[in-house]
Amino acid sequence: MAKKYDINEVEVWDGNYAASQALRQAQVDVVAAYPITPSTPVVENYGNYVANGYIDGEYVMVESEHAAMSGCIGAAASGGRVATATSSQGFALMAEVLYQASGMRLPIVLVVVNRALASPLNVRGDHADMYLGRDSGWIQIDAFNAEEAYDLTLCAFRIGEHMSVRLPVMVHQDGFITSHTAQNIHPLSDEAAYKFVGDYKGVDDMLDFSKPVTYGAQTEEDWHFEHKAKQHKALMDSRTVIDGVFAEYGKLTGRNYKRVESYMMEDAEVAVVGLGSTVETLRVAAKQLREEEGIKVGIVAPRCFRPFAFDEMADALSGVKAIAVLDRSSPGGAMGAFFNEVSAAVLSSANRPLVTNFIYGLGGRDFSIQEAKRIIREQKAHADAGHITTQIQQFSGLRGPKLGFFEAKRS
């Protein structure tokens, strides 16, 4: 029996520590992991709990991230709770098996501490790894700060393991900015946290020999499409479960989460849409600009990157005239992927706002409040002019000649 861990009402934890405490409180049965910067402390902290008797489950240190997720799949198919953590190159190495985990409908929780993808090698935070996961069939939830990383990791078990969902869940936080920055955190007691997460309920358990189960069968053109469609449906249907779990967690903690988080949007004329820790920077900038310059600006951010909250995103942005969408990932010869998704959502509404795209913060390049303000002012200028006054895609914080490839043709 695991030793009791002393926990205070208010703790000072960084995002990594917060996530590892959530894994401990959820009483995970198997953690199979491989360390990588900046998520290494998640598994190091967990290893510390193991070494000191706070964990009853198994802790398997494998030889690579691909093996970490492979081991998680074997474990999750064997009727117990499973979690791991990774970043960047490790996430990329896992990519093959991420699809297998979701295709087999295994509710694994993966803490992803976002970091850039090489080359050039870079250990700092951007969202390249998060974007790489966006078609993998996982639920992707985004924490903007360390306390949210704790909260949402607990919620992830409830969501993924829900009988009508049974899908793996990633909980994203930004490398270093969130993962290594300590803040005041209000954790649940171990008892309350476990009560919220609940006992694990197995489905198609390989260790139940009264009902033999075959995992990972082959399907070709006769069945593959139906399987993938069913998986997509499960992802889309998970939206109501996510809403329910967030509501329940809100009652427990007073911390209320929504699949799309809107800030000062009630009367907003312009908006900025972002992801990760940048959302907090944007909120500060918006608040200050409202006070200092009277710009009616609001901030919109998806809490749920997958399933993408298409309708809620359109609703949140339905009243604005100009929107900047911020992508913290190299667009690779296109508009930012997030820009495309937000644009598609607003295009479906009656209002047709002016939408521009900023590529920013790659490889951990700082994104300041001043820069956020500049972008907001630019949106105000678009709104006042009634047309986009810049290139559609711009690069924020980039040294050298100004880049732009997409001319605005709307007036």
Partner 1 sequence: MAITSIKNLKEFSTNNDRFEGAHTLCPGCAHSMIVRELMNCTDDNLVIAANTGCLEVSTAVYPFTSWDTSWIHIGFENAATAVTGSEAMYRARKKKGTLKDPNAPVKFVAFGGDGSTYDIGFQWLSGAMERGHDFTYICLDNENYANTGGQRSSSTPIGATTSTAQAGSASYGKKEKKKDIVAIMAAHGAPYVAQLAPNKWKSMAKGFQTALETEGPCFINTVSACCTEWRFDPKDTIHITDLATDTLMFPIYEIINGHELNILYRPKNVVPVEEYLNAQGRYKHLFKPENKHVIEKIQSDINEYWDKLQRREEARI
Contacts with partner 1, 141-180, as mask; x by CB under 8 A:
----------------------------------------
Residue from the set 52, 96, 240, 404 that interacts with partner 1 by CB under 8 A: 96
One of 208, 248, 293, 384 touching partner 1 (CB under 8 A)? 208
Query: Using CA atoms, how far apart are residues 57 and 74, in angstroms rounded to an integer?
Result: 15
Q: Is 79 left (phi over 0), alpha (psi -120 to 50) or beta?
A: left
Site for partner 1 in 9-38 (CB under 8 A): 29-30, 32
Residue type, 76: A
95 binds partner 1 (CB under 8 A): no
Which CB atom, from 95 or from 408, has the smaller least distance to partner 1? 95
Least distance between partner 1 and beta carbon 202 (Å): 8
Q: Is 72 in the site for partner 1 (CB under 8 A)?
A: yes
d(Cα 306, Cα 156) in Å, to the nearest integer? 13
221 binds partner 1 (CB under 8 A): no
Tell me which stretch binds partner 1 (CB under 8 A): 72-80, 152-160, 257-265, 296-304.
Answer: 72-80
Q: Single out the residue of 340, 361, 346 nearest to residue 406, CA to CA.
A: 340
Choosing from 5, 7, 48, 80, the residue that interacts with partner 1 (CB under 8 A) is 80
Residue 109 contacts partner 1 per CB under 8 A: no
Count of residues near partner 1 by CB under 8 A: 45
Q: Is the Cβ of residue 193 or residue 322 nearer to partner 1 in the bound state?
A: 193
Q: In Å, how far are 209, 249, 362, 405 from 256, measured between CA atoms? A: 42, 7, 30, 40
Stretch of residues binding partner 1 (CB under 8 A), selected from 68-76, 150-158, 329-337, 363-371: 68-76
Options 47, 57, 137, 336; binder of partner 1; rule CB under 8 A: 57
Is 207 an interacting residue with respect to partner 1 (CB under 8 A)? yes
58 contributes a contact to partner 1 by CB under 8 A: yes
What residues contact residue 210 under an 8 Å CB cut-off, 6+ apart? none
For partner 1, which is the closer residue by CB, 32 or 177?
32
Q: Which is nearer to partner 1, 110 or 268 (CB)?
A: 110
Place of tokens 């929107």: 323
Site for partner 1 in 244-283 (CB under 8 A): none
DSSP per position, 243-268 = HHHHHHHHHHHS----SEEEES-TT-
Can residue 218 be called a binding residue for partner 1 (CB under 8 A)? Answer: yes
Q: Which is nearer to partner 1, 66 or 328 (CB)?
A: 66
CB of 227 to partner 1, least distance (A): 8
Q: Where are the alpha helices (DSSP H) in 81-211?
A: 88-103, 128-132, 146-161, 190-197
Q: Does residue 163 sit in helix, strand or coil?
A: coil
CB-CB contact of 105 with 231 (8 Å):
yes
Nearer to partner 1, 71 or 187 (CB): 71
Q: Which is nearer to partner 1, 6 or 222 (CB)?
A: 222
β-pairing, 30-33 vs 82-86, is parallel
The answer to whether the CB of 12 falls within 8 A of the CB of 182 is: yes
CA distance 150 to 154: 7
Pick the closer one to partner 1 by CB: 118 or 207: 207
State whether residue 56 is helix, strand or coil: coil
Minimum distance, C-beta of residue 16 to partner 1, in the bound complex (Å):
23
DSSP-derived secondary structure letter, 363? G
Q: Find the shortest distance in angstroms from Cβ 80 to partner 1.
A: 5
Looking at residue 403, the DSSP 8-state letter turns out to be: P
**Of 148-156, 206-214, 255-263, 321-329: span binding partner 1 (CB under 8 A):** 206-214
Least Cβ distance, residue 217 to partner 1 (angstroms): 4
CB of 366 to partner 1, least distance (A): 38
How many whole angstroms separate alpha carbon 376 and alpha carbon 298? 9
In 3D, which of 39, 41, 42, 15 has the Cα closest to residue 28? 42
The single residue listed with the structure tokens 């909980």 is: 171
d(CA 5, CA 116): 34
From the list 340, 174, 155, the residue with the least C-alpha distance to 250 is 155
Binding site for partner 1 (CB under 8 A): 29-30, 32, 56-58, 60-64, 66-67, 70-80, 82, 96-97, 100, 200, 205-210, 212-219, 223, 227
